[in-house]
Amino acid sequence: MAIDRPPPGMPSDPDAALAEAMEGAPCYEATTNAIRVVVQTFWLDDQSTPEEHRFAWAYRIRIENLGSETVQLLRRTWEIMDGTGRMEHVHGDGVVGEQPVLEPGQVFEYTSGTGLQTPTGFMRGRYHMIDARSHQPFDVQVPPFSLDCPYHPTIIH
Q: 26-83: per-residue pLDDT in tens?
A: 899 999 999 999 999 999 999 999 999 999 999 999 999 999 999 999 999 999 999 9
The ranges assigned to domains in the chain are 22-148
* DSSP SS3 for 12: coil
Q: How far apart are CA 123 and CA 88, in angstroms?
A: 10
Strands (E), 14-136: 27-32, 35-43, 55-65, 71-82, 87-93, 101-102, 107-116, 120-131
- Mean pLDDT throughout 20-29? 75
Over the chain, what is the mean pLDDT?
Answer: 88
Which amino acid appears at position 23 of this protein? Answer: E
Kindly indicate whether the domain formed by 22-148 is annotated with CATH number 2.60.40.1470: yes
What is the percentage of the chain residues whose pLDDT exceeds 70?
82
- The answer to whether residue 96 scores a pLDDT higher than 50 is yes
DSSP H helix total and E strand total for the chain: 1, 9
Q: How far apart are CA 120 and CA 147, in angstroms?
A: 5
